[in-house]
């Protein structure tokens, strides 16, 4: 199967996008008479101006130099179902996650994932009441199928909590395969779904923004771009904090084996992985 390796490129300009036009927004109040105000200056009418959140880069993974040390944990065949075989690789310009049909993580599922973030040997954590944005590029081959049960290729989880709060998943209904974000807290649901077939066998740009709040104040935004064209840009509000001390992203392949007719030896590629925290 083809394993493309491409020249490393900057995604969204790094720190230059401190105020991304697609980002979450916050409201500020300006007194009348200022450039943001409307209404009568004589009465001192206040107006609400909306500005994008400013983000600062907190993490970037360079597979050539950081290798797998860019992540807080590597879950490569942790059940030892495929002894002597490596499944997660840091290559010169990308990270590779390999899944074989025989691999197991328990009796009914498979997992080859990396967990959390490290920068300079120190963990980079996401905490309650913070807003984070993840940017990366992803390559999904045609051997990685959508399934009727779960096939997750990104998760946000909380320490000590079994269930994810957010996933990017590959689903299936009949012959129709979809890529979508799913939110599992109170008020959650499917967020931003599109056909998978048109996004296969090419690099696509992913942006995920999460406001980590307990209850209704949490929010998510999910964006997919294909060669500069936005094919998904969806937002949703709800509970994005399920407990624990911290939250962390996970990348890789985590899937059920129940839809066995769709399982193939396959892989997933990621590159240009960055995380930003709002100020």
**What integer pLDDT is reported at residue 125 of this predicted model?**
95
Of 178-182, 240-244, 261-265, the poorest mean pLDDT is in 240-244
Are the CB atoms for 181 and 206 separated by under 8 Å? no
d(CA 177, CA 173): 7
pLDDT of residue 49: 52
Q: What is the DSSP letter of 241?
A: -
What was the pLDDT predicted at 116? 98
With respect to CATH, is domain 57-278 assigned 2.60.120.200?
yes
Rounded Cα distance between 128 and 55, Å, is 17
Q: Give residue limits of the domains in the chain.
A: 19-53, 57-278
More confident residue, 26 or 84: 84
CB neighbour class for 166 (10 Å; exposed up to 12, middle 13-18, buried from 19)? buried
pLDDT in tens, 17-70: 333 334 443 333 332 233 233 333 333 334 445 457 799 999 999 999 999 999
């Amino acid at each position: 199967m083809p394993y493309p390796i491409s020249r490393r490129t900057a995604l969204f300009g790094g720190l230059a996008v401190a105020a991304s036009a697609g980002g979450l927004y916050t409201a500020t109040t300006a007194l009348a008479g200022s450039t943001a105000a409307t209404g009568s200056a004589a009465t001192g009418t206040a107006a609400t101006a909306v500005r994008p959140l400013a983000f600062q880069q907190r993490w970037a993974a360079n597979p050539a130099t950081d290798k797998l040390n860019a992540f807080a944990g590597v879950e490569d065949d942790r059940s030892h179902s495929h002894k002597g075989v490596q499944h997660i690789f840091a290559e010169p310009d990308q990270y590779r996650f390999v899944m074989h049909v025989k691999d197991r993580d328990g009796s009914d599922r498979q997992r080859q994932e990396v967990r959390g973030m490290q920068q300079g040997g120190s963990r980079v954590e996401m905490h309650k009441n913070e807003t984070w944005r993840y940017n990366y590029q992803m390559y999904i081959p045609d051997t990685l199928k959508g399934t009727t049960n779960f096939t997750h290729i990104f998760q946000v989880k909380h320490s000590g909590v079994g269930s994810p709060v957010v996933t990017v998943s590959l689903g299936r209904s009949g012959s129709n395969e979809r890529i979508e974000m799913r939110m599992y807290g109170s008020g959650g649901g499917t967020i931003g779904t599109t056909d998978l077939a048109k996004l296969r066998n090419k690099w696509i740009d992913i942006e995920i923004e999460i406001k980590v709040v307990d209850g209704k104040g949490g929010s998510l935004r999910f964006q997919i771009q294909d060669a500069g064209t936005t094919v998904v840009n969806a937002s949703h509000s709800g509970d994005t904090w399920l407990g624990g001390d911290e939250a962390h992203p996970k990348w890789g392949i985590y899937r059920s084996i129940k839809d066995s007719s769709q399982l193939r030896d396959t892989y997933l590629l990621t590159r240009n992985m960055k995380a930003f925290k709002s100020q």
